[in-house]
Structure 1
């Protein structure tokens, strides 16, 4: 049975009596990596026997703390312009949005970007794997985030070197590291299985939408050539029309986050479309930031009505190109920055078009035309030329209601599995915290 002592840190409480509290710099060397100029990046892309991987922040998995060694550039082993990190060194992101969150332990020699810090064990009294887990625990994380400064947000290797950490005897460090290795591997396997199931459910949902939106519900209906080579046949009585024949197009407000206020008219911008409210937006349920009521006089054309569609006009990846939301409530709201508004010019069943816009058929038409490298841009011209299948209005309603019921069941399963993943992640965090703070009986 362990005896405990006061750590001297109010929020931490007691720690095992035989554990020490020491500065990291006495047990490890810490240093940044080196950045590559954009103009030189073409030189460093070939992997061969004379090169080693160049690791960037993007190459570190934030969930599993693993590294993709072959996802980027490669540096000549003899190149003296780049500092190296070695097997069992720890790489820690110390700058930007992922500062303190992306942490990995190396299993081979690498070079690395300057946003990463190498922590190299220099003591026979320290187990590198224990330190790797300690960096994921609340004691280190609180220290790290309380020291972040600057516009981008970062902590220096020198600061980290002066952080205190809890040091058990070496044998106990090894026991803790082995215990967490075993537990975290089981957790990782659980998450991977659940994510595979999520992927299958999402594929099932997409396949259902694609099939129904292009063939309808009547399996015996007479078909005709769609006139679109890769698609094949569609029901004979359906029309094929471009979006410009069905919708009028407008722009959202030309504003920034600085224009948001604590009360006024709700406003949907591209960020909420991508991350919070894809496909449907109902203000009786969903929450948005506000803009001034003065826009009612200045920009009435950006005010939305039930049944309108709002597309994000930029995306950070090709998969997000074509992301949209459909307005489901009668509460007045504005389309915000980086958005394109589509208003029906003729009578349609908006829920049908919500499924249609989410289908691969429409998505692929948009993805083929978007342009960009780091940011992909969608224009009104691209959207206007998108071709759509138009069943009779009653059939639109039938298809939409069928898909709504089926997709709701799939979405319910997806939500349940995501909750399971979040709970197991919370359990992993608690497990690591308890172990590296000496509060767990490993037996």
Structure 2
């Protein structure tokens, strides 16, 4: 779908806008918006959260405070933006009265501004970059932009009716894109479930459907092939716990080494592009050093992080791991088989039932991990199962990669469409939903 440009343009006078339609007003934000600074109590005005999805009722994960009067008033029709650069994209038009954290800037639009248009304009990637560029602070990724600086950002605003047309167009088009993204996300979830089901069946039942079965001795595991062994993990592997940050190294010889975190240990692969470093005592290096063949497992976090992991192949020299990542070091089983077991549905069930849980979070101890029952076919059968799993999961992984790529393209399309519409690079005044179909 392509859209025409406006007949005539003028220079906006600022780089982020460039050329804008001749009849649009190019003035500072302070002309179009007033700042609302009234402090209120969350006892009188419901607490709201400012997120990348807009302004919503306060999230369960939001930091709570006893200073109930230390919040900013928000009225329906206001625009709210988080002033901190590490919260980039957290902004939106409020559809209800309430209160927000003092770190947010609350804007009341003048009568000549349609809030639905402002919602798209001020959440656009182009404006967000300009907004945080005006910020101040010592650390670049923790800058704050207050209204004092924000008011000087130049905006280009079309006539009121045109704002409404643009907002209607973007509401419609972004909803279609969002629906397509949801479909791709559902597909990824389905593929992940099927992928794990294939792995779980292979490592618990084998590849021969006619093999005699026996009771595994584990109630929730059920029957397994008669000739397979069942051993507790502690008899075929050791668990190395990681280092906690903040250790006192006063008076010790120290070294700085790469440091593997939970974010680096994904489900079936390692994300090593963003590696942290940590200063440790030189004498502690051998204690926490990762060794090729270690099966990495996350202690917890969100439910989907519990026990997830992959094999360490020695990708980074002299690398250690944090205390929230376990290094399971096998001595009576191959790393590949143990990794297949720990990534299976039955192991994930075990980890979840043995974990400490709170709202959306779970963690498991090294002691509980060591009690995991591990199924052990003969070595040649392990190799056959692993080959089968690799072939099957490769197909699922290819489909999931394609779905993730589709999501990326859709999101890029969404961002570009919003930016083009709110800066006048496309003319949608004659657009209708029927004509767009």
Q: TM-score, length-normalised on structure 1?
A: 0.80
Task: State the partner residue of 1:395.
Answer: 381
**CA separation in 2, counterparts of 1:173 and 1:330?**
53
Q: Does 1:336 align with 2:343?
A: no
Task: State the partner residue of 2:435.
Answer: none
Deviation at 1:127, TM superposition (A): 0.7
Deviation at 1:101, TM superposition (A): 0.8
Residues 26-425 of structure 1 mapped to structure 2, 5 A cutoff: 26-31=31-36, 53-57=46-50, 60=51, 62=52, 65=53, 69=57, 72=60, 83-95=72-84, 97-98=86-87, 100-121=88-109, 123-150=110-137, 152-252=142-242, 267=258, 269-274=260-265, 277-281=266-270, 287=273, 289=275, 299-313=285-299, 315-328=300-313, 332-338=317-323, 339-346=325-332, 348-371=333-356, 373=358, 376-425=362-411
Deviation at 1:33, TM superposition (A): 8.8
Cα deviations by residue, 1:43-67 (Å, 9 ceiling, x for unpaired): x8xxxxxx9753224xx4x3xx356
**CA separation in 1, counterparts of 2:274 and 2:94?**
42
Match of 1:436 among 419, 422, 436: 422
Cα deviations by residue, 1:225-253 (Å, 9 ceiling, x for unpaired): 22222232222222222211111222345
Deviation at 1:255, TM superposition (A): 6.1
**CA separation in 2, counterparts of 1:246 and 1:197?**
37
**CA pair 67-214 structure 1, distance change in 2 beyond 3 A:** farther
How many residues of Structure 1 are paired with residues of Structure 2 in the alignment?
A: 408
**CA pair 82-147 structure 1, distance change in 2 beyond 3 A:** closer
Measured on the aligned residues, the alpha-carbon RMSD in Å equals 3.6
Paired residue secondary structure (1:389):
strand
Structure 2 gaps, min length 5: 1-5, 62-67, 250-254, 431-437
**CA pair 106-162 structure 1, distance change in 2 beyond 3 A:** same
Contact 2:134–2:150 (CA under 8 A) maintained in structure 1: no
Deviation at 1:68, TM superposition (A): 5.2
**CA separation in 2, counterparts of 1:114 and 1:344?**
52
Paired residue secondary structure (1:304):
coil
Contact 1:349–1:396 (CA under 8 A) maintained in structure 2: no
Moved more, 411-420 or 229-238: 229-238
**CA separation in 2, counterparts of 1:219 and 1:6?**
73
Paired residue secondary structure (1:181):
helix
Paired residue secondary structure (2:240):
strand
**CA separation in 2, counterparts of 1:359 and 1:175?**
51
Paired residue secondary structure (1:279):
coil
**CA pair 179-290 structure 1, distance change in 2 beyond 3 A:** closer
**CA separation in 2, counterparts of 1:234 and 1:391?**
10
Contact 1:84–1:112 (CA under 8 A) maintained in structure 2: yes
Cα deviations by residue, 1:64-105 (Å, 9 ceiling, x for unpaired): x356548559xxxxx98865433333332333632x312233
**CA pair 400-433 structure 1, distance change in 2 beyond 3 A:** same
Contact 2:231–2:373 (CA under 8 A) maintained in structure 1: yes
Contact 2:290–2:314 (CA under 8 A) maintained in structure 1: no
Deviation at 1:306, TM superposition (A): 3.0
Paired residue secondary structure (1:299):
helix
Contact 1:34–1:113 (CA under 8 A) maintained in structure 2: no
Deviation at 1:390, TM superposition (A): 1.6
Contact 1:248–1:343 (CA under 8 A) maintained in structure 2: yes
**CA separation in 1, counterparts of 2:21 and 2:59?**
42
Cα deviations by residue, 1:113-147 (Å, 9 ceiling, x for unpaired): 334433332x2211111111111224422222213
Q: TM-score, length-normalised on structure 2?
A: 0.81
**CA separation in 1, counterparts of 2:38 and 2:202?**
52
Contact 1:89–1:106 (CA under 8 A) maintained in structure 2: yes
